[in-house]
Amino acid sequence: MSDRPIPGPGCWVSTASKPKTLGIVVGDRVRGNEIEIQVRWGRSGITEWHKLSELRNGFRTGNVVQDRPRSNTRKTLGMASVLTWREIAGRDMVLAQFYQTGESRWLPFENLVRIKDASHRFLYQEAAQDSADRFRLKGLAYALDSWNQVTGALDRLDVDPLPHQIDLVHRIMASDHANWLIADDVGLGKTIEVGLLLAALRRRRQARRVLIVCPAGIARQWQDEMRYKFNQDFRIYGWDFLVNQASHWATYDRVIVSIDRAKSDNHAPIFGDSGEWDVIVFDEAHHLSKIPNQAVTQRYRLAETLRSHTDRLIFLTGTPHQGRDPQFINLLMLLRPDLQERFERIYS
């Protein structure tokens, strides 16, 4: 009798003569002094008996497996992903990384059984009772991991970001482009997305001076969201402070201002002398309309002025187009003046 472990039902095997043909163990028996393993092979479904000595490892990189203890004295190590395999001291060993602990271990392939992972279940249209919950939790875990890779500071935020919000910020941070139009539907949390983005940029020291331009009715909301959810203290121009000369701007790095106050004849020149901003955010950016063959609005003129004060401009709007091509083109050209010819060619 061999002292080699006996692969149990669910273990994947191959043979030395046909290493690319994979089978699954379905049973075993003893005949004389030999242990024989019953294997169901490949897509053919043919079931054959093989001597234990004829069988080799059938697991491949990326397979999802479950550790199966050979006795009741050891607890299972749980689910794992196969990293690689090789022959060690005459035995086929599998290097598996376990999900629960993150630990990687070399184990005899006979100790493992194949688990039907998501790709297998999708291909064969199989679903476990908890599949929906597991998918939701894995999606959230992936989103949180992506966000943590961007900032390393998820635990510092008093906010529960949704996966689509984290995905947006991750996409922006991974992009070479600094100017973005965020056009989520109303109610999808654009304020939270901006807070997450600013937190990520601050982590990289790319958001020391930030200006948020928004309608007057939501200025306090912006201030509260930034303060209590992201620990960023913004001051509202005209309510918390005023600037009478350009040198005073050095005192204020995080500012919120209502667009109607900033555009006015009394205050627009002051913002024209406000210096460089690392990030400027325009909320409700669809109000920055410029109609061809008509006088430029004060709001659009303000945006043009501030555009020259930053390399990173963010527009927020739930209704960017509104069925009016010329205004939409002008909005895009304000955001990306380097693409003016392309925009004009597309809409010509």
What domains can be seen in the chain, in order of their start residue?
12-121 (no CATH), 134-346 (3.40.50.10810)
Based on the number of CB atoms within 10 Å of its own CB, is 298 exposed (0-12), middle (13-18) or buried (19 or more)?
A: middle
Mapped onto helix, strand or coil, the DSSP state of residue 95 is strand
User: Which tokens in the block code for residue 225?
Assistant: 């969201």
152 has pLDDT over 70: no
pLDDT in tens, 22-66: 999 999 998 888 899 999 998 788 999 999 989 999 999 989 999
117 and 127 Cβ atoms separated by less than 8 Å: no
**Opening angle at CA 106, ends 122 and 72, nearest 5:** 85
Strand-pair partners of 314 = 180, 281
pLDDT recorded at residue 295: 65
Helix axes of 325-335 and 298-307: crossing angle, nearest 10 degrees: 30
What pTM, to 2 d.p., does this model score? 0.57
CA–CA gap between residue 57 and residue 1 (Å, rounded): 20
pLDDT recorded at residue 154: 54
User: Which tokens in the block code for residue 96?
Assistant: 């598996």
pLDDT recorded at residue 289: 73
How many C-beta atoms lie closer than 10 Å to residue 234's C-beta? 24
Mapped onto helix, strand or coil, the DSSP state of residue 93 is strand
pLDDT band at 268 (very low <50, low <70, confident <90, very high): very high
User: Which tokens in the block code for residue 186?
Assistant: 């109303």
CA–CA gap between residue 254 and residue 238 (Å, rounded): 14
Mapped onto helix, strand or coil, the DSSP state of residue 89 is coil
325 vs 120, more confident: 325
How many C-beta atoms lie closer than 10 Å to residue 258's C-beta? 20
Averaged confidence pLDDT in the chain: 84
Residue with token string 């460089």? 276
pLDDT band at 157 (very low <50, low <70, confident <90, very high): low
Torsion of CA 246, 251, 253, 259, to 10 degrees: -50
Residue with token string 């973005």? 180
Percent above pLDDT 90 for the chain:
44
Strand order from edge to edge, sheet including 91-98: 104-108, 91-98, 79-88, 64-67, 112-114
pLDDT in tens, 276-329: 999 999 998 887 876 666 667 889 899 999 999 999 999 998 876 665 677 788
pLDDT in tens, 234-246: 999 999 999 988 8
Backbone angles phi, psi at 208, to 5 degrees: -75, -45
CA–CA gap between residue 136 and residue 124 (Å, rounded): 20
How many H-runs (helices) and E-runs (strands) does the chain carry? 10, 16
Q: Which of 101-110, 152-161, 288-297 has the highest mean pLDDT?
A: 101-110
CA–CA gap between residue 312 and residue 277 (Å, rounded): 8
Mapped onto helix, strand or coil, the DSSP state of residue 91 is strand
